[in-house]
Structure 1
């Protein structure tokens, strides 16, 4: 039985990491589906990031076909008019959005968007750096720095201003998280397990179990990780030990963001869910049509 469970975990991990790359230029798979039965007549899929705006608590969801927020009926409403493939996505403490990815089909832009920024909650975007060079699949902001997993080149990059970047260690990862206490402690989810760096991402140690697909670390003693099957885990010691606290409904995970020590948002195959009690219970915030994440 133990060997079978290990095999199942490995298969789930392979599935998550195989689906971790969207093609450049944006494809027509996934995305909006008219008359899907949601209140707005729109369905979303292929979620790459979720976040809560710090001032008004509004939910934003970055997808393969644009950034969405719940409308007055609870259905997904497109923010702005850009339906790009938004990959890495993060909302800063000041409410600004950072993202990366690929342009929508037919839009005149480089295949890799580099780092882009919005200061009006996603209605408009401006190029910030690395346009045409990099597709960040994961972004984190901490200690006045931007940390980005550059999937184009398979390495971690770090910047103090989002413009000038330092290349750090090489790795193949799905998600990253930075310690809220220490700018040099960086975690990354990989096929071999959770890897840790204590030198700012220049080098990483071996993978450790349990296997995690996504991690989010906002409060010092509240590191959250979701495994490839949707089980949510909590670590109070920076990932050295874990306790399972619940299961996010809806199947395979697509994104995870911890707002604080007890509030978190997670996207799975059938919905975007929010918890206010540390992952013990969840409320669906948006419907999601079946489709892969990242």
Structure 2
């Protein structure tokens, strides 16, 4: 990739997202359920495979719905959880920044986010995007502009350098890795060691739960679906709130998305959404 123009364009894309998150658009759905816990920014979403409980990674800790569906802090950590992914029953990987400052590197929880253990790269790396497939953790190290992988959480292999916002790993072929760049969606077929130049349309966030169900949210909140791994796309809907902050599809038809006005869930492939949890974002990062 031609790195310098990509870096400039990616910076412009990141600024566009930040400006969108910082604007006050109100609630386009007309819902009155916008009085939940306010956080600076939502970074990640996941469902625990053990009990299908929703987890929301934010700038001020990880939250889950309580018995009344209201946001409840998981554990006692209010660290900034940036990259976040569910790897199995009650097993999560994350990255970000401690409240005391610095970089978390890679951390893991085996009790659904109540406690966390540092695995590697503490003070060295800040993974803004994480994915887990085939026993491997894939991470985009935003500080170094580097795609990295690890099988044990400790020893890392460095892949390609690129300017990206999000990554997604092929559900049937873990050598296929996609990354959102300013030019469009870039593709790797060698586990992230090399990437093609991005191909339009430009997406902000990706999630790939099934071979024929790759989802992408564009910078305006449009939810798009590809049945052929990103070669062609079809717009499905616009996520309520319109301003993307996180996307996780946990099945071919089951989609979770976060915007400034909350966390929304679709059970019909993104055609319709219902609010799942009233976590509102003040727009900061």
Shorter-chain TM-score tier = 0.7 to 0.9
Cα distance between partner residues in 2 of 1:283 and 1:45: 22
> 148, 166, 178: which is aligned to 2:139?
148
Aligned residue for 1:13, secondary structure, equals helix
Q: Which moved more, 1:130-139 or 1:190-199?
A: 190-199
Residue number in structure 2 paired with 1:13:
13
Cα distance between partner residues in 2 of 1:67 and 1:259: 18
Aligned pair 1:90/2:79, yes or no? no
- Give every structure 1 segment of 4 or more consecutive aligned residues whose post-TM-superposition deviation is greater than 6 Å: 37-41
TM superposition shift of 1:13: 3.5
TM superposition shift of 1:182: 1.3
Contact 1:254 1:292 in 2 (8 A): no
TM superposition shift of 1:160: 1.0
Cα distance change of structure 1 residues 293 and 177 upon mapping to structure 2, 3 Å threshold: farther
> 128, 131, 137: which is aligned to 2:119?
128
In structure 2, list runs of 5 or more residues that go unmatched: 1-9, 21-31
Contact 1:234 1:242 in 2 (8 A): yes
Aligned pair 1:256/2:247, yes or no? yes
Cα distance change of structure 1 residues 16 and 57 upon mapping to structure 2, 3 Å threshold: farther
Cα distance between partner residues in 2 of 1:52 and 1:67: 12
Cα distance change of structure 1 residues 39 and 184 upon mapping to structure 2, 3 Å threshold: closer
TM superposition shift of 1:39: 9.6
Contact 1:40 1:75 in 2 (8 A): no
TM superposition shift of 1:262: 0.6
Cα distance between partner residues in 1 of 2:106 and 2:120: 5
- The higher relative CO (CA closer than 8 Å, separation ≥ 6) is in 2
TM superposition shift of 1:15: 3.2
TM superposition shift of 1:45: 3.7
Output the aligned Cα RMSD: 2.2
TM superposition shift of 1:190: 1.1
Residue number in structure 2 paired with 1:166:
157
Aligned pair 1:71/2:66, yes or no? yes
> Once the two structures are superposed, what CA deviation does each residue of 1:180-224 show, in whole Å capped at 9, x if it has no partner?
111211100011211111111111111111110000011111001
> 169, 172, 177: which is aligned to 1:186?
177
Cα distance between partner residues in 2 of 1:273 and 1:292: 17
Cα distance between partner residues in 1 of 2:165 and 2:112: 25
Q: Which moved more, 1:81-90 or 1:243-252?
A: 243-252
Cα distance between partner residues in 2 of 1:157 and 1:141: 12
> Once the two structures are superposed, what CA deviation does each residue of 1:78-135 show, in whole Å capped at 9, x if it has no partner?
000000000000011333010000011xx4xx61110001111111111011111100
TM superposition shift of 1:247: 1.2
TM superposition shift of 1:11: 11
How many correspondences in the alignment? 265
> 21, 27, 42: which is aligned to 2:37?
42
In structure 1, list runs of 5 or more residues that go unmatched: 1-9, 21-36
TM-score with structure 2 setting the length:
0.87
Cα distance change of structure 1 residues 90 and 16 upon mapping to structure 2, 3 Å threshold: farther
Contact 1:39 1:75 in 2 (8 A): no
Cα distance between partner residues in 1 of 2:162 and 2:264: 30
Cα distance between partner residues in 1 of 2:34 and 2:209: 33
Cα distance change of structure 1 residues 187 and 161 upon mapping to structure 2, 3 Å threshold: same
TM superposition shift of 1:46: 0.1
Cα distance change of structure 1 residues 17 and 64 upon mapping to structure 2, 3 Å threshold: same
